[in-house]
Structure formats: C-alpha cells, structure tokens
Amino acid sequence: MFCEHGVIGVALSDGAGSEAYSHLGSAYTISFAGSYFAARFEELFSGIDGTFDDGLKADLITSLLEGLLAQSLEWKELVGKEAMNESVDSETNDDVDSHNLLRVRLKSLAATLLVVAVKDGRYVCAHLGDGVIGAEVCARDGSRAMRLLSQPDNGEFANSTVFVTSESAPERLRLYSGYLTDDDERITGFILMSDGPESVLYEKHQRWLAPACLKLFDEFRHVTVEEFELSLQSTLEKVIQTKTDDDCSIALLATVTPERLSTE
C-alpha cells in the first residue's frame, strides 16, 4: 500500500515462476509503482477518455526498468557476485555483449504489475500481465456488485503472459482512469489478485468476478487490518490453494463503509 502526495493506493506484482530473481523484481515493481503513481497521478489521470499517450506507457516502463537495473546492481552485492554472474553467464558466451547481458539480467527479474491509485474521488489503474483488477460498486439503493476493471493478459497460451521486462511491455501495458462516483453508482473498493486467485475467483469465459469477493470487502471493513490479513492468509492457504498451484496474492483498497448514494 502507498500513501503520499494525497494519493492512496495498492500495488501487486507476481514474479515469473522460472526466473531466479523474480521475487526481487516483483518487490521492486511494487515499490516503484507506489512512488510513480503517487508522483504522477494527475498526468496519468489525464487519459480519462481512454486515449492514453503511448509515450506515457513507454515512460512508465522505461522508468521502471531503469530503476530495476540500477537496483539489481545493489542486489548483486547482496546475493553474491558469483550467483548473479552464474545465472547471467550461463546464457551469454565468453564474448560478453553488454546489451545481451542487460537483457538477461532484467529477464531474471520478470514480474507482472497491477496497481490502483485514488485521489480526490478519482482513480487510475495499471495492469501488465495476468491477474485481475476488479471494483466493488455500490448502487443508489445500497446494493453492491463486483465489476471487472481489467482482465488477465495471457496472450494465446495458458502458460504465457507479459512481464515488465518483456519487449512488448509498453504496448501491452493497460492504463485506466475514471471517477469513483457518477449519477447512479459509486466505486467503494478495488481488488487486485494474481493468477492463483484469478483461477477461482474470476470466470474467464463470461468475464465476471465471483460475487463472493464481496465477502472479502465485508471482512475487510469489520475487523482490524491484522485480523483481516490473518483471515485472508487462511483463506488463501486453506481454500484457494486447494484449487490452484499458482502463486496466490490478493490486495484490497476500500472505503471504510460502502456509502449509500443520496436518493436526491
């Protein structure tokens, strides 16, 4: 979670399974997302009509990768020079090509990106890769429903997706923005999930989120953060992970209460 410059939000990142240091890549991606979206919320929101500048997407990815690369040099010190060199050198030949070295190092840090940021009744979202971003929507009569904001991007095949380190990342990055409230309804919460929970909380053919996701928001609002995290962890381990082998992560951002809109 991040909260700065009047922006509050959550970010989630899932490291690529086969990449040695993707857990470091996903950790940095989350950290980057918080800072970037907090600092550039207004610029990102400017794409309200859906026409986000391609340059904006390219800048986001480029900034992330530059930071990731710089950070990886510090990790090299942490994880051991030999370990990093071993994973890098196994894919390059003796005649070291600096571009290839860079590409291989970044590839080992591959991760997805999901982020939601809110400020002054407005939101922006970014999504790269699989997983799902959804919203809890409250109607005038107080009824609530789950709404899909961003679906998974798996390309054609089930075991493929795009990562922040992929060459096609700028083109496949999806940005969304909007207002939390309109005449008829209000967004009262956001949910981000990785591909593990996606497989059991998101119906892929008809593209809808399980109504049971509302239970997560109910619990979120009625217990402490610590209690919720324990319950969520238990849910992931005892329920969701019985149905999937994929990594399981869920993040929520919600109003304290699902406020009922005025009937006027």
Partner 1 sequence: MGQDTILELDDLVYNPTPRLPVSLCLDCSGSMNGQPIDELNEGVRLFYQSVREDEKAQNSVELSIVTFGPAQLEMDFTPMSAVADPPQLTAFGTTPLGTALKISLDTLDARKDVYKYAGVDYYQPWLVVMTDGCPCDEKPSILDEQAARIASMINARKLTVFAIGTGPSADMGTLARISPTRTPLKLRGLEFREFFTWLSKSVSVVSRSMPGDSVPLDVDGLKGWAEI
Please give the C-alpha separations between residue 127 and each of 76, 112, 148, 225, 260, in angstroms, as whole numbers.
28, 8, 12, 25, 29
Q: How far is the CB of 19 from partner 1 (least distance, A)?
A: 7
Q: How far is the CB of 161 from partner 1 (least distance, A)?
A: 4
Answer yes or no whether residue 185 interacts with partner 1 by CB under 8 A: no
Nearer to partner 1, 44 or 113 (CB): 113
Dihedral of CA atoms 248, 86, 103, 76 in degrees, nearest 10, equals 70
Q: How far is the CB of 90 from partner 1 (least distance, A)?
A: 13
The site for partner 1, by CB under 8 A, has a size of 46
Q: How far is the CB of 236 from partner 1 (least distance, A)?
A: 9
Please give the C-alpha separations between residue 178 and each of 48, 56, 258, in angstroms, as whole numbers.
6, 17, 18
Nearer to partner 1, 139 or 212 (CB): 212
Q: Kindly identify the residues of this chain, within the stretch 188-227, that bind partner 1 according to CB under 8 A.
A: 195, 199-206, 210, 212, 215-216, 218-219, 222-223, 227
Q: Kindly identify the residues of this chain, within the stretch 82-111, that bind partner 1 according to CB under 8 A.
A: 110
Q: How far is the CB of 194 from partner 1 (least distance, A)?
A: 10
Q: Kindly identify the residues of this chain, within the stretch 233-252, that bind partner 1 according to CB under 8 A.
A: 234-235, 238-240, 242-243, 245-246
Dihedral of CA atoms 10, 158, 202, 27 in degrees, nearest 10, equals -10
Nearer to partner 1, 59 or 219 (CB): 219
Nearer to partner 1, 48 or 104 (CB): 104
Report the alpha-carbon distance of residue 168 to residue 173 in Å, rounded: 9
The three-point CA angle 101-103-106 to 5° equals 105
Answer yes or no whether residue 256 interacts with partner 1 by CB under 8 A: no
Q: Kindly identify the residues of this chain, within the stretch 117-176, that bind partner 1 according to CB under 8 A.
A: 129-130, 154, 156-161, 163
Binding test (CB under 8 A) with partner 1, winner from 7, 10, 12, 19? 19
> Which residues contribute to the site for partner 1 (CB under 8 A)?
15-19, 22, 110, 129-130, 154, 156-161, 163, 195, 199-206, 210, 212, 215-216, 218-219, 222-223, 227, 231-232, 234-235, 238-240, 242-243, 245-246
